[in-house]
Structure 1
Amino acid sequence: MKKIPIKTLVIAVGLQALTTPVFGQEVILPDFHADPSARVFDEKLYVYPSHDAEGARNWKGMVDWHVFSTDDMETWTDHGVIFSLEDIAWADEEAWAPDCIERNGKYYFYFTAGGEIGVAVSDSPIGPFKDALGKPLVRKHEAGIEYMIDPNVFIDDDGQAFLYVGGAKQLGVVKLKEDMITRDGPIQRLDMKGFYEGLWVHKHNGIYYASYPTRPPGQREANRMFYSTAKSPLGPFEFKGEIIDSHSFNVHGSITEFKDQWYLFYHVEGPSHWERRVSMAPLSYNDDGTIQPIEIPPLK
């Protein structure tokens, strides 16, 4: 494993100014990573991203997942590959956006592979992880959802776990049993204004927040992150507005609290659409529970 100071990363980006956009915000992870799922376990923050292939011009070449951790939001440790397509018998392409959560001393890693959703398990947040089922937990086309991608897992205060899945404006949710690898009932479809992909659910002061990338009408890019709120993890969700415009080809991220400060983790373009970088920004709430929009400068 390797410890990486953020300031070193910022300098490295600056040295590549001829080929790399000027981000206008700190890049926190090295190499090309995207779709950051940020979690806090035992007072340490972990980011589980997808891993873009260097020089790629599509996302077919993504083959593994790393995890990064920090104690202070300044120095990050790369724990290396924690899971890969080589560890999966039922898929051989598209190691896309993941999520991870802890329950009863075990860590459950939900991942996209080959257009389906799997789950792996470990005794440690840094792995190694092992495929828990040997088959997908959620298959493509279930409940009429064509793009079965972007898993997000949420455990409510009463212990009920929910797995959110889907993309291309098709969103579903399924309850999980306490073992976190068994579904408890069918997938339910959810209506979410503006939803395109990459749902992330968190709870703050009794309100359920669903944040997600959106693709404005007539545009190819899903580069803005919107959010909706509800009184239940199953909705109905009320549209609230925009959190961030990434000024990138696409955006995908997560929201979590660490040491009494809330943060938005997200990705922006790297040297190309296909080589993305992970950034973060402090996030704040208004007195009425709405999220204060985050402004970042356009890429240059």
Structure 2
Amino acid sequence: MKAISRLLPAIGLLFLASSSIADDKAKLSGNPIFPGWYADPEGTVFGDTYWIYPTFSARYDDQVYFDAFSSKDLITWEKHPRVLTAGAIGWAKRAMWAPSVVERGGKYYFFFGANDIQNDREVGGIGVAIAESPGGPFRDHLGKPLIDRFHNGAQPIDQFAFRDADGRYYLIYGGWRHCNIARLNDDFTGFVPFPDGTTFKEITPEGYVEGPFMFIRGGRYYFMWSEGGWTGPDYCVAYAIADSPFGPFRRIGKILKQDPAIATGAGHHSVIHVPGTEEYYIVYHRRPLGETDANSRQTCIDRMEFDEKGLIRPIRITREGVPARPLK
């Protein structure tokens, strides 16, 4: 009996340790990370909170608002419905796509595409809205599109607001297999021409289709984009690296694509970098197996890692997602 009584504390500790391990394993985001059809997600960090701003994935005529999602740990997500609606934007009627949100001077600026214009005679393009909170409500900042024309062949969609190391902001955007970069002015109401007098510089790499994203790591510029057709299983993400946000960007290869055992059409992504760490997450959309509707897309998250040369390792899309990661 004495031997058994001596073992009981050890058994108890072992049980607690096993329970703790099980709890840790249970604390995974899962994929998708929140319910509903959402695509083109931009993930970012404001203060101690993660935010994701996706496209509402539906027929173009039904895409007249944006929802946002926030989390303290990448596991539990709070929905913020209709942070921006077409009703707040006098010129936006449909096809509101691909948000990009940045903070400057205590204000939050929400860049978006609307109306899916096909030529310079149509009303629409890229707009910008403003709010006092990352959860909105956002209101029109200009009363008109920021970009309403095709420059260098780029359809004005899929905008990404990029902050360079020197504090300057650029808008990187473009569909129809062309990508431009333009320097934003201080209040995000227009652009500052480059020294050569041009405003829109083309930085299109080989294979580019849409969905640009850029970040800096180790003093180098990682430029990422989507390839393939957004309605098909071949949708994917590729990247390049350069010493400048203007390139030249030479394609390195694909790092995100479908897994026929899990999901198809993995693409149009963004990257969350945990401040002060070497931790990176890729946020993207994909289509569940068996879904044939092009708009049946879900937002997912997985880890993104680098090799010893700084190249992005191929990403394995998962059903499990990622562990909890509270921000300090």
Q: TM-score, normalised by structure 2?
A: 0.77
Aligned to 1:215: 228
The whole-number CA distance in structure 1 between the counterparts of 2:74 and 2:267 is 21
Whichever residue aligns with residue 133 of structure 1, its letter is: L
> What's the CA shift for 1:239?
1.6
> What's the CA shift for 1:8?
11
> What's the CA shift for 1:128?
0.6
Aligned to 1:176: 184
Q: 1:103 to 1:69 in 2, by over 3 A?
A: same
Q: Deviations over 1:61-90 (max 9, x none)?
A: 211101101111110111111001111111
- The correspondence for 2:50, drawn from 28, 42, 45, is 45
> What's the CA shift for 1:193?
1.5
- The correspondence for 2:212, drawn from 187, 190, 199, is 199
Aligned to 1:231: 243
Aligned to 1:125: 134
The whole-number CA distance in structure 2 between the counterparts of 1:60 and 1:197 is 21
Whichever residue aligns with residue 312 of structure 2, its letter is: I
Residue aligned with 2:87, SS: helix
Residue aligned with 2:191, SS: coil
Q: Deviations over 1:113-160 (max 9, x none)?
A: 013100001111111111100000011323332x21100010111111
- The correspondence for 2:254, drawn from 207, 222, 242, is 242
Report whether the alignment pairs 1:163 with 2:171.
yes
Report whether the alignment pairs 1:33 with 2:38.
yes
Q: 1:139 to 1:222 in 2, by over 3 A?
A: farther
Residue aligned with 2:253, SS: strand
> What's the CA shift for 1:188?
1.3
Identity rate of aligned residues, in percent?
A: 32
Whichever residue aligns with residue 271 of structure 2, its letter is: I
Whichever residue aligns with residue 148 of structure 1, its letter is: P
The whole-number CA distance in structure 1 between the counterparts of 2:308 and 2:188 is 35
Aligned to 1:143: 152
Conserved? CA contact 2:113–2:157, under 8 Å: yes
Whichever residue aligns with residue 33 of structure 2, its letter is: I
Aligned to 1:20: none
> What's the CA shift for 1:163?
0.1
Q: 1:91 to 1:8 in 2, by over 3 A?
A: farther
Whichever residue aligns with residue 130 of structure 2, its letter is: V
Aligned to 1:16: none
Runs of 4+ in 1 over 3 A off after TM superposition: 7-10, 219-222
The whole-number CA distance in structure 2 between the counterparts of 1:43 and 1:82 is 20
Aligned to 1:269: 287
Conserved? CA contact 1:202–1:256, under 8 Å: no
More helix by share: 2
- The correspondence for 2:161, drawn from 142, 153, 168, is 153
The whole-number CA distance in structure 1 between the counterparts of 2:27 and 2:317 is 21
The whole-number CA distance in structure 2 between the counterparts of 1:205 and 1:43 is 24
Report whether the alignment pairs 1:279 with 2:300.
yes
The unaligned stretches of length 5 or more in structure 1 are 1-6, 11-24
The whole-number CA distance in structure 2 between the counterparts of 1:104 and 1:258 is 21
The whole-number CA distance in structure 1 between the counterparts of 2:180 and 2:202 is 4
The whole-number CA distance in structure 1 between the counterparts of 2:311 and 2:115 is 36
The whole-number CA distance in structure 1 between the counterparts of 2:235 and 2:28 is 24
Aligned length: 271
Conserved? CA contact 1:51–1:62, under 8 Å: yes
Residue aligned with 1:242, SS: strand
> What's the CA shift for 1:59?
3.5
Conserved? CA contact 2:68–2:79, under 8 Å: yes
Q: CA RMSD in A?
A: 2.2
Q: TM-score, normalised by structure 1?
A: 0.84
The whole-number CA distance in structure 2 between the counterparts of 1:48 and 1:209 is 21
The whole-number CA distance in structure 2 between the counterparts of 1:287 and 1:9 is 27
Matches within 5 A, 1:2-13: none
Aligned to 1:61: 62
Q: Deviations over 1:76-115 (max 9, x none)?
A: 1111110011111112111111110111111110001013
Q: 1:250 to 1:273 in 2, by over 3 A?
A: farther
Conserved? CA contact 1:213–1:222, under 8 Å: no
Conserved? CA contact 1:249–1:273, under 8 Å: no
